[in-house]
Structure 1
């Protein structure tokens, strides 16, 4: 492999290129056409001398790319407040429905139907999530009225402290299941705890799944 030498025009000799995983892994440079005795005669060198003696820089120069600042041109069009009231726990989540203001400009290749689907199913981003377990309630205590009231109070207080809701923002309240925490959540919303959130609510809906037929239900949990 090392004995074969290629003769170039003008009598210059060039060693063959050696490609071996051993040389690549050990950090040893492989022999290339640039390592010849007559560098000016080799057509593979990056810097070639002209007939006048000056050097031409034929290396590739990369153009600087414009870096983005990372900020997205988005706005919140709606807030969704989810309240899940199981028989054994109470959960509350605040979700922001976000619209990309540059969506049409960046996706001109999409069809009309695909653009309509985007605006009908805008992205949802969870901002807050609070459960009764996070507030120190354990086991059967999580299903009690007090646990649901504390979850609602903590949610409303955090929204006010972080100033998440703007003066013109709208909130949709979505409730699920019929545990004891449901009444507690409503009481906190109507009371002084929810006076900052209540004026922004424009819709209240129930997302509880109704059982109709189907398989035998799971055995009732005993505490």
Structure 2
């Protein structure tokens, strides 16, 4: 009986391994097809709230596993808007994880696109959504003229407050101020509209994007 149970367990483990391997192969196949195609696509680069996951100071059960295993950690919410025809891409949000997210994008797309996005779309002035801009400054990448799409209050916030104002003055970034519901063309494949949405607007309005 014990031998039979061991054989059954062994078969179960083998079956589980085969299923996992099949899922992995299918995922890699779909991913390869996705990045090889000429259709525009969006890639998720982060899903967590401003503080990331695990959250600072969190020792609850929802965080303990993620502290121990980096594979369970999550970047702050961000998207890549990709145009395979023009070989350009745009980033939604400049998060505190931007350094890792730019690397992730390059890794996932096998270096087929420029390291920096052609532009960055910002929603509002909370830490998880714009503070990654500091990585574009002279202390780090020292970028040149990266377009940053913002609504008017957000534009004023960046222009009038350091260290963000220095990014503007040194032309590390170029602010593109938008009006609500204005149709912005990114490329022949992508365009979007910004709208204001309810949120805590301490330093700027909050934008939502309709990406077409």
More helix by share: 2
Higher relative contact order (CA 8 A, sep 6+): 1
Say whether the fold is shared (TM-score over 0.5): no
| TM-score (ref. length: structure 1) | 0.26
Asked which structure has the greater CA Rg, the reply is: 1
| TM-score (ref. length: structure 2) | 0.27
